[in-house]
Amino acid sequence: MGFLTLDGLTKRYGEAAAVSDVTLSVAKGEFISLLGPSGCGKTTTLQMIAGLVEPSAGRITLDGRDITHEKPDRRGLGIVFQSYALFPHMTVAQNVSFGLEMRKVARPERETRVKQALALVQLAALADRYPRQLSGGQRQRVAVARALVIDPPVLPLDEPLSNLDAKLREEMQFELRGIQQRVGTTTIMVTHDQSEALSMSDRVVVMEQGRIMQVDAPYRLYESPATPFISSFVGKMNRLHGVWRNSGFESAGRVLPCDGADLTEGAAAVLAIRPEKITLTSPGAGVLDGRVAARFFLGSAWFVTIETDAGLIGVSLPNAGEEPAREGDPVGLDWSKSSAKAAKPEGAQ
Ligand code: ATP
């Protein structure tokens, strides 16, 4: 049995279900992300765990104890919000100390624990500042220290990094994950940012319309997405439309290499392939020919779109220090059989 378990957890608002029958088992020390598009029910799930929203059905257990209807303060989880929700009239140290005072922890112990928590998030030097005197990243760290200082069994994080600019956000992803690994707190983070979920989590829970669609380690989620929705939501995916032949997937009069499952001769099929699984070669030397439509320089890679008879195909090329083909250049595209998967089109029986 998991350290934190959700069993058939459901939340209805009138007729509409915000969360439907969510079942999940989280191990002690795990970092789990709830990932999905806006409105899929991630925040409602997190709030039910934290005790801020009452479930309509289902059960939540923590370390073997049924906490489904327990008051939030009895659960002792704390929560880190996107807005940080710091007290503006309190210093950093007072903000972090607040939860310990509420729990009637004696002053000497409080002082020691606040110091430890601030050291953990590298804010010891700013203990006497007020929130308005801090940067966004520093405020976010205060919020994390305030949540961790009470030594919660589970740390719920609600989009904790989404108010930060792109560069700081990336730095904080590594920092927050580092802190979590040092402290070992079981963590559930809500995010709609797939790269954040992939880089920080032990396992990612993908949600769509209130339901769990897949739970997997980041690498497996990326390599073996359970549905076309997940494959496009997590990373980029090319989709080519064609027909399944016993010889393979056929599009624009070409048989293209791929693995196929559960397909019958002559049926419509979709071939899915990630942009980084394709290489560029000379025209005629690959599995398909085309012409460069556009190039985008991303720093560590180039993203090149190629117009082909089978449709527009995106190719991601690592930056090897020289420019790839230019707009209008004829090119060949090549990929291995195992890197492309053919399946029925979405919605087909
Ligand atoms: P976002 O990323 O936009 O925050 P989310 O995945 O966290 O989205 P939720 O906030 O959990 O989604 O909402 C799930 C669904 O439940 C949405 O359709 C939302 O409109 C609905 N919902 C949430 N809270 C309430 C409420 N108090 N009353 C009625 N409907 C609600």
> For 181-202, how does the pLDDT look when each residue is reduced to its tens digit (9 = 90+)?
998 999 999 999 999 999 999 9
The average confidence (pLDDT) of the chain is 92
What pLDDT, on a 0 to 100 scale, did the predictor assign at position 349? 57
How far is ligand 1, taken at its centre, from the CA of residue 169, in Å? Answer: 24
Q: Which pTM does this prediction carry?
A: 0.89
- Architecture (CATH level 2) of domain 237-343: Beta Barrel (2.40)
Who has greater pLDDT, 226 or 78? 226
Question: Does residue 264 have its Cβ closer than 6 Å to ligand 1?
Answer: no
Q: Compute the distance from residue 35 Cα to the ligand 1 centre, in Å.
A: 14
Ligand 1 mutation pick, 10, 40, 81, 206, max ligand atoms within 8 A of CB: 40
CATH 3.40.50.300 correct for 4-232: yes
Four-point Cα dihedral 230, 220, 80, 105, nearest 10: 150
Residue 116 and residue 186: Cα distance in Å, rounded?
A: 19
Can you tell me the ipTM of this complex?
A: 0.94
Domain residue ranges in the chain: 4-232, 237-343
Q: Ligand 1: distance of its center to the CA of 13 in Å?
A: 9
